[in-house]
Amino acid sequence: MSTECVQKERKFGHRARLAPTPAQARLMDDQAHAARTMWNCLHDWWTMLPKDKRSLSAADAAIRRARKEIDWLGALPAQAAQAVLKAYFQAWKNCWGGRADPPHFKARPRTVMSVDIPQGRDLNITRVHRRWGMVNIPRIGRIRFRWTKDLPVGKRASSENRITGARLVKDALGWHIAFRVQTLEAAPEPHQGPEVGIDAGVNLPLALSDGNHRDHGRPPRLPDGTADRDKWLNPREKARLLGLERRAARRKQHRKRGEKTSRRLRHTYHQIKQLRAKATRRAVDWQHKTTTSIARRYGTIVVEKLNIKNMVKSARGTPEEPGQNVAQKAGLNRSISQEAWGRTVTMLTYKTARQGGALHKVPAPGTSLRCSACGITTPGSREGQATFVCKNPDCGWSGNADWNAARNVLHLYRMGHALVPVAGRAAVRRPRGVKPATAR
C-alpha cells in the first residue's frame, strides 16, 4: 500500500555576501541612489497631483519620461524602476488597509541603499567553487558571491524550484544580495517531540521549562553593574570601538552648528557602524542556530505574549511628575533591545512550522511572580533579576527566576490559556472540560 506525499509551495529568502570590484561597487551605489531619488520624485509627483488625476499608468509614463530627461536616472535598469513604482503603490495599499503608515520621503542618511532585481532569469547564477558563485547584475556584470546554501540553479531549477528574483542591499559591511527562492517540498509530518515553555530574559536569554536553557556565554552586565552594550565584541574590538567613539567626539566638538560633516568624521562614523554591524551579525547568527535546535527538538513551544514596545518605554516621566531610577531603567531597556525577543519569536514561529511543530502564546502577567511549585503569588518572592524564593511558608521553593517563569508559561498552556488571534486581537482558547485555574 503506497502513501502519497503531500507537496506544498514554500517561499523564502537567502542572503549572501557579494565581492564586487571597486568599479562595480560604485555602479551599484549609483543605481541605489537613482532608485531612492526615483521614489522621492514619485512621492512628490503623487502628493502634488489632484486625486482624480492619480493613476498607475500616469505614474508609469512619468517615470519613463524622467529616465529619458535625467541622465543619471538612466543608470537604474527599466525593470528596477518598475519595481520602485510597484513598491510605492503597494505602500499606499498597506496604508489604506491599515497595515502601515503612509509612504514618506527617503532621506539619504537614514535610508538603506537597495536595488530590486524582479526577474530571476536575469541573474544567470553559476557555481564556480565550493565557497563561491557568480551572479549577473543588470548593467553591472558578473559578481562573485559567497555560496553558503544550495540554490535551485542549473539542472536543479524547474518551474516549481527556482529563483524568482533578488534584491541588492548595502549595510556597513558592504553589499549583499538577497535571493527570493520558491520551492516545492514535502509537507512535514506532525512533530512528536515534547512540550516546552520558554521565558525570554536578560540574565538568561532563553530559559526552558525542562532546564535545558540557552545562553550565549556573554554576561549581560559589566563588573560595575551597568549594561554591556557591546557584549558581542571581543576585548580587542571593544577597545577599538571605544577609541573610535572618543575620536568621533573630539572631531564633532570642533564642528560649528550647521557646518557640513567632515570627511574624516564620516569615515570614523563608518568604522563605528562596521563594528556595530559585526556585533549584530553575531547576535543574529546565535539566534538562528539556537531557534533551529529548539524547533528540531520540541514539538510544542509555548512563549509569552509580550508587548515589548511598552516594556522599553523611558521612565523619565514629565517635568511635573519626574520618574525614578531613570538610569537603571534605561540600562534595562538597552538590554531588552539587544536580546531582540521579537526576532526570536518570529524565528521560532516559522521554524517550528517547517518541522511540523506548533508555537503558542500565553498571557504574560504574573508568570514571573507566581511560584511554579505551589502556584501562589507571594509578595517579595522575586529577589532581583536572577533569583526566585517562594515566601509561602508551606512551599519555600527556590531557583532561577527565568526558569520559574518558563515553568509557569508551560503550565498556562496545559491549563488551556493559549491565545488565538481573532479579528486582529488575541482571544483565550480553552480545551473542552478544562476550567481556568491560577494555582496548582
Radius of gyration of the chain (CA): 26
> Same structural domain for residues 107 and 163?
yes
Of 346, 363, 230, which Cα lies nearest the Cα of 288? 346
Predicted confidence (pLDDT) at residue 397 exceeds the cutoff of 50: yes
Write down the pLDDT at residue 352.
93
Query: What is the average per-residue pLDDT within 221-226?
Result: 64
> Same structural domain for residues 39 and 100?
yes
> Same structural domain for residues 74 and 213?
no
Write down the pLDDT at residue 375.
82
Comparing 5 with 254, which gets the higher pLDDT? 254
**Per-residue pLDDT reduced to its tens digit, 268-308:** 999 999 999 999 999 999 999 999 999 999 999 999 988 88
Comparing 120 with 331, which gets the higher pLDDT? 120
Alpha helices (H) along 12-113: 22-48, 56-69, 78-96
Write down the pLDDT at residue 433.
42
Alpha helices (H) along 195-262: 235-253
Comparing 49 with 223, which gets the higher pLDDT? 49
> Same structural domain for residues 397 and 363?
yes
pTM > 0.95: yes or no? no
Per the domain annotation, does 242 fall within a domain? no
User: Which sign does the torsion angle of CA 170, 174, 175, 181 carry?
Assistant: negative
Comparing 299 with 322, which gets the higher pLDDT? 299
Task: Please count the structural domains in the chain.
Answer: 2
Of 88, 113, 99, which Cα lies nearest the Cα of 28? 113
The answer to whether 25 touches 175, Cβ cutoff 8 Å, is: yes
> Same structural domain for residues 55 and 169?
yes
Write down the pLDDT at residue 223.
65
Cell of residue 250, nine digits: 573630539
Predicted confidence (pLDDT) at residue 58 exceeds the cutoff of 50: yes
> Same structural domain for residues 166 and 222?
no
Predicted confidence (pLDDT) at residue 350 exceeds the cutoff of 80: yes
Residue that is last in its domain, among 161, 186, 211: 186
Predicted confidence (pLDDT) at residue 2 exceeds the cutoff of 70: no
Predicted confidence (pLDDT) at residue 253 exceeds the cutoff of 90: no
Give percent of the chain above pLDDT 70. 92
Write down the pLDDT at residue 36.
95
Predicted confidence (pLDDT) at residue 439 exceeds the cutoff of 60: no
Picking from 8-17, 165-174, 370-379, which range would have the lowest pLDDT averaged per residue?
370-379
Query: Using 50, 70 and 90 to split pLDDT, how confident is the model at 423?
Result: very low
Q: Would you report the helix, strand and coil content of the chain in percent, each value rounded to 5?
A: 40, 25, 40
> Same structural domain for residues 21 and 83?
yes
Domain span at residue 89?
A: 7-186
Per the domain annotation, does 259 fall within a domain? no
| Amino acid making up residue 353 | A
Give percent of the chain above pLDDT 90. 44
The answer to whether 200 touches 339, Cβ cutoff 8 Å, is: yes
**Per-residue pLDDT reduced to its tens digit, 256-265:** 888 888 889 9
Cell of residue 281, nine digits: 551579525
> Same structural domain for residues 163 and 292?
no
Of 46, 71, 76, 75, which Cα lies nearest the Cα of 60? 46
Write down the pLDDT at residue 306.
84
Query: Using 50, 70 and 90 to split pLDDT, how confident is the model at 267?
Result: very high
Predicted confidence (pLDDT) at residue 62 exceeds the cutoff of 80: yes
> Same structural domain for residues 217 and 130?
no
Write down the pLDDT at residue 140.
94
Q: 385: helix, coil or strand?
A: coil
Per the domain annotation, does 244 fall within a domain? no
Query: Using 50, 70 and 90 to split pLDDT, how confident is the model at 418?
Result: confident
Per the domain annotation, does 167 fall within a domain? yes
Per the domain annotation, does 275 fall within a domain? no
Query: What is the average per-residue pLDDT within 58-77?
Result: 86
Q: What is the edge-to-edge ordering of all strands in the sheet holding 398-400?
A: 382-383, 387-389, 398-400
**Per-residue pLDDT reduced to its tens digit, 94-106:** 999 988 899 999 9
Residue that is last in its domain, among 135, 162, 186: 186
The answer to whether 108 touches 97, Cβ cutoff 8 Å, is: no
Cα 256–chain centre separation = 37
Picking from 138-147, 174-183, 219-228, 239-248, which range would have the lowest pLDDT averaged per residue?
219-228
Per the domain annotation, does 260 fall within a domain? no
Residue that is last in its domain, among 186, 211, 239: 186
Query: What is the average per-residue pLDDT within 347-358?
Result: 92
Mean pLDDT of the chain: 85
Residues 57 and 48: their CA atoms lie apart, in Å, by 17
Q: What does DSSP assign to residue 277? A: H
Picking from 7-21, 378-392, 402-416, which range would have the lowest pLDDT averaged per residue?
378-392
> Same structural domain for residues 143 and 206?
no
CA distances from 398 to 371, 388, 402, 414 (A): 9, 6, 12, 23
Cell 480553552 sits at which residue?
430
Query: What is the average per-residue pLDDT within 77-89?
Result: 92
Write down the pLDDT at residue 351.
93
Predicted confidence (pLDDT) at residue 91 exceeds the cutoff of 80: yes
Encode burial over 114-148: b for 16+ CB neighbours within 10 A, e otherwise: bbbbbebeebebeeeeeeebbbebbebeebbbebe
Per the domain annotation, does 97 fall within a domain? yes
Per the domain annotation, does 39 fall within a domain? yes
| N-terminal to C-terminal alpha carbon distance within the chain | 48
> Same structural domain for residues 117 and 207?
no
> Same structural domain for residues 88 and 111?
yes
Write down the pLDDT at residue 227.
65
Query: What is the average per-residue pLDDT within 166-189?
Result: 92
